[in-house]
Amino acid sequence: MGILNVTPDSFADGGRFVSEGWLDPARAVDAGLEMIAAGADLLDVGGESTRPGATPVAADEERARILRVIAALVKQTDTPVSVDTYKADVAAAALDAGAAIVNDVSGLAGDERMAGVAARHHAALVLMHNRGRSRDMYARAQYAEVVREVAAELSASIAAAEADGVPRERIVVDPGIGFAKHAEDSLRLVARLDDAVFAGLDRPILLGPSRKSFLTLALGDVPPDEREWGTAAAVTAGILAGAHIVRVHGVRAMAQVAKVADALLAARQ
């Protein structure tokens, strides 16, 4: 899954599509098509940074950032497009524009209408584990046993989605690396994706370690654009432990990493 952040302030690539002070949809579309050519099987388009401490964006602004990009992409490729949002109104507009997946970083906690929107549009739904909003998530990063607690809270999100009409087979779960988790928690989750509690969810797992700050626990204080090798290690470990989808910035390199990890997994099995 290639990350296409149409925002000025994302932690790893904010402002990539800003031209003369304005977001440039055409450049974002070109970047998305380049990701597909480089090996992306999915594109995840986001119009609001959800990094810790980020400033929330109004739904109108978020829609303005992403809808032209999504509409153009679905006209030019058959690659499924995902919308990265926790707002039901934004998700509905993106699905109307042609997106096929909703990637909800709040795990349905951000908007009680989200699952209903996904159900009515027959969309796939990614439920990410999180606690709180961007500005207070670390205050809630308190776990006695992070693997079991994350799995239990994801199970509750799955149940809520099903109760609102989303078929279980359309649900993907994401342990939420870096969201309401300290670096040690994120490392433990990547290393233990093969734990029985995740297998018990019986849903595909999306893993998003790309360039995130938990990698600095091993790498030292290096900026996001210097964390690609660390990302490669986390992607490999995640796939070997059971991740089905990896969400990354550097698609060309990580597509190769994923292919080798898949070959290793097949050889082991």
* DSSP letters spanning 228-253: HHHHHHHHHHHHHHT-SEE-BS-HHH
CA distance 21 to 239: 39
CA distance 9 to 15: 6
**191's tokens:** 């290393």
- Beta strands 43-46 and 2-5, pairing class: parallel
CA distance 182 to 28: 32
CA distance 25 to 146: 39
Among 26, 39, 109, residue whose Cα is nearest residue 256:
39
CA distance 35 to 79: 10
Report, as an integer, the average pLDDT of 259-263.
Answer: 98
Q: Which residues contact 58 (CB under 8 A, 6 or more apart)?
A: none
CA distance 91 to 181: 26
- 133 versus 252: which is more confidently predicted? 252
pLDDT band at residue 21 using 50, 70 and 90 as cut-offs:
very low
Report, as an integer, the average pLDDT of 88-98.
Answer: 98
For the chain, give the percent of residues with pLDDT over 90.
Answer: 85
Mean pLDDT score of the chain: 93
CA distance 1 to 83: 12
pLDDT exceeds cutoff 50 at 19: no
In the three-class reduction of DSSP (H, G, I as helix; E, B as strand; rest coil), residue 128 is classed as strand
Of 16-20, 87-91, 157-161, 199-203, the least confident: 16-20
Catalytic annotation, residues: 212, 247
pLDDT band at residue 13 using 50, 70 and 90 as cut-offs:
low
Question: Any alpha helices (H) in the chain, and if so which ranges?
Answer: 25-38, 59-76, 88-96, 114-120, 146-163, 183-191, 196-199, 216-219, 228-241, 251-268
pLDDT exceeds cutoff 50 at 117: yes
pTM for the complete prediction?
Answer: 0.93
CA distance 202 to 150: 15
Sequence letter at residue 44: D
In the three-class reduction of DSSP (H, G, I as helix; E, B as strand; rest coil), residue 225 is classed as helix
pLDDT exceeds cutoff 70 at 10: no
Pick the CATH number of 2-268 from 3.40.50.1970, 3.40.50.2300, 3.40.50.620, 3.20.20.20: 3.20.20.20
State the pLDDT at residue 72: 96
pLDDT exceeds cutoff 70 at 224: yes
Report, as an integer, the average pLDDT of 206-234.
Answer: 97
Terminal-to-terminal C-alpha distance of the chain: 24
Instruction: Give the tens place of pLDDT for each residue, 55-75.
Output: 788 999 999 999 999 999 999
Q: Provide the residue ranges of all domains of the chain, joining segments of one domain with +.
A: 2-268
